A and B are shown apart, each in its own frame.
Chain A
Amino acid sequence: MPGESPHILVIGYGNPGRGDDAAGWLVAEAIERQWGNAVEVQTLHQLDVVIAEQLSDFDLVVFVDAEITDAPNGRSLARISPSDELQDVTHTITPQSVLGLGRSLYNVEPEAYLTGVYGHRFDFGAEITKETARDIKRAVSEINRLIESKRLASTPL
C-alpha cells in the first residue's frame, strides 16, 4: 500500500556453533542492529514448514544461508520463486519450497530473495574464516541496499 512501510522479513539460518555455518545468523543480526523494529529478523537452525504460514504477513522476505561454493564472493542476492517441485521434505526445507508451500496452502507470494554466504569450514566450534567474514559484509551491504530501495519506493512523493 503506498505510503505504508513494506513489511520485511529477514531469515538467517544455519548452525551458529559450526564455523562458517553461523554466517546466516551473523548477517541477520547485523540487519537487526541496523534496522531495529523496521525489519522482522529471525535466526533459525534450519528452515521449517511453519514459515510458510507467516509469509502472508510480509511483502518482502530475504533468506540468508552459508553455502559451500567455489565462488569466494558467495552468491549475490538474487530473486527466487516458489517451487512446486518439492520432491520430499526432510526435517528441513529449501527457501523455494517454503515459498511454494506459502503459495499452495495460503495463496501468498511475497517478493523473495536468497543470498548464499561463502563458507568452507563447518567444524564444531570453529572460528568464522576470514573469507566468510568478508562475504558477510557483502551480504549485509546488499540486503541493506535492498531494504532501502523498498522503503524508498513506498515513501510518498
Chain B
Amino acid sequence: MTDTTLTTPIVINPVTRIEGHAKITIHLDEAGDVDCARFHVVEFRGFEKFCEGRYFAELPEITSRICGICPVSHILASAKACDTIIGAELSDTARLLRELMHMGQLAQSHALSFFHLSSPDMLLGFDSDPALRNIMGVIAKHPEIARKGIRLRKFGQEVIRHVGGRRIHAESAVPGGMNHALTEDARKELLAGLPEAMETTKFAQDLLNRYLDENKEETSEFASFKTNYLALVQPDGSLEHYHGRLRFVDSEGKVITDQIRCEDYLEFIGEASEDWSYLKFPYMKNLGYPKGMYRVGPLARLNAINKIPTPRANEAFREWRQRSSGTQSSSFHYHAARLIEIVYALERIQAILDNPKVTSLDVCRPGRVKNQEGIGCIEAPRGTLFHNYWVDEQGRVEKVNLIVATGNNNMAMNEAVTRVARRYVKPDKLEEGMLNRVEAAIRCYDPCLSCSTHAIGRMPMKLELIAPGGEIIDSLVRDNT
C-alpha cells in the first residue's frame, strides 16, 4: 500500500545566499527513501554566442561583465587566453601585477563567503530560526565579527582597485600585460593594510577550528563523499592559482594525471548535458560520465597539492591535513580551505609588494595575432576556470568555450545535496533544519550561477520533494528578493 503522504510533492525553492537562479528536487524511491537529489539551474543566456564576431582583444573587458561576483577571475583568464593568441611573453612586472590582483580577488571573495554567507551556520547553529540565521543575526550577537569581515573584504577590494583601476571590476589586464602600473603610494598603502587583514584571518581560523572541534562528527561527515579533484599546481606540486599545470588526484590524494598543459584540457575533460539543468556537467573523460566526477575550488586545491609555498599558509595546511588525517572529503571543509587560502593570498600580496619590480613601468608588450586559438586557465576563488577562444587571422572571434568553477563542481553539488538529503530528509515532510542543511551543502561550494549560466539576477531557491511517480509531495520556498 502506498503511503498517501508520498503522493503529494515536496519543493525547496530558494537556496539562499548563492548567486543566480536554481531549484533543488529530492526524489524518493518506492520505499520512501531518498533516491537522489538534483540541483537544477533553470536559466540560461548564451554568453559564448554573444562573444562571436568580436575582436579578441575586447574579450577581457567583455567577459569580465559576465557577472559581478568574480570579474577579476574572468578578466585574468581571458587576458591569458589573449596572450596566447598574440604569442606574448609577459614582463615580470605584468606577471606580478596580475597575480597581485588575483590574490586580492581571492581574499575578498573568500572573506564574503566565510564571514557573511557561511558564518551564520557556525555562529548561530543549523537549527536556529532561519529568520535570524543570517548576517543580521550575526550582527545582533557578534557585531565585531561582521565588521572584521567587511574590513577584510574591503582590503582585498583595495588591492583590486589599486591594480585593476576599479574596486570590483578590474579593467587593467589586457593582451600582453597590464594597461597601467602600480604607484609607490598605492604599494605603501596596501602594505599598511596587511597586518590587520592577517590578524582577522587568524581570528576566523580560530573561530572555525573551535567549531570543527566542537562539531567533529557533523563537520567531518557533512556532505562527505569520495571524488577526484582537479587543480592547477606548480611543477613540484605546490599550490598555484595563476600559472602552473593541471593535476587530477583521486579521493585519497593520489595523483592520477599530473602536469597537464592547460591547452590540453579538452583531452581530459568532457561536458555532459542533462535535460533538467542548463548548467553542463564536466567530467573526467578517462572515467566517463557520470563516473568521472571531480571537484574544484579551495577544498580540491588543498586535496591536490603537496604543500603551500608560503610559510604561514603551509603551516595551517599541515595542521589541517593532520586534523583530517590526509585529504578531506567533507564539503564543510571548503570553509577551512578558504581561510587557509586567504592566509596564502595575504602572504603572496606581501611578497609581491616587497618585490622592487612591482612598480616598474614595463607592464605591457602588445602584439598581433600569431595563433588562432588561445586558452587561459586559472584557479578562480571557486575553482578552475577555462577560457578558450578560436579566432580568424584578423583576430575576429569564431568560437568561445568557457568552463567555470561552478560548472566543474556541478556533479559534486548534486552529490552533496543527495548525501545531505539522504541523511536529513524525512519522506513525509520537509523541516527547517533539513532545509538549512541542504542550503548549507550548496553554500560550501559558494556557487556563482550568474557566472556559470551567465544568467541575470538573484537566485531564489525552490526545493521539491518528488514521489516515484513524479508528483510533488512537499515544497519549500525561500524567496528573499
Contact = CB atoms under 8 A, between A and B. Distances in A.
Contact of A17 (B65, B134, B136, B140): B65
B456 A88 contact: no
A18 B450 CA distance: 13
Interface residues of A, number: 31
A95 B460 CA distance: 18
A49 B480 contact: no
B50 interface: yes
A39 B478 CA distance: 38
A122 B456 contact: yes
Nearest to B69: A91
A51 to B, nearest CB: 9
A44 B68 contact: yes
Contacts of A49: 112, 116, 135, 149-150, 153
Interface string A51-84: 0110000000000000000000000000000001
A17 B112 CA distance: 25
Contacts of A124: 45-47, 50, 65, 454
Interface in B35-76: 45-47, 50, 62, 65, 67-69, 71
Contact of B50 (A15, A106, A125): A125
Contact of A90 (B19, B139, B143, B168): B19
Contact of A52 (B68, B150, B456): B150
B65 A50 contact: no
B65 A90 contact: no
A46 B150 contact: no
A45 B151 contact: no
A89 B116 CA distance: 7
B68 to A, nearest CB: 3
Given A17-B65, A101-B135, A124-B65, 15 more contacts: A15-B65, A17-B62, A44-B68, A49-B112, A49-B149, A84-B136, A87-B16, A87-B134, A87-B480, A88-B17, A90-B458, A90-B459, A100-B136, A104-B140, A105-B150
17 contacts: A15-B68, A44-B168, A44-B169, A50-B157, A53-B147, A87-B478, A88-B478, A88-B480, A89-B17, A90-B19, A90-B117, A90-B459, A91-B448, A104-B140, A104-B143, A124-B45, A124-B47
Interface of A: 15-18, 21, 44-46, 48-50, 52-53, 84-92, 100-101, 104-106, 122-125
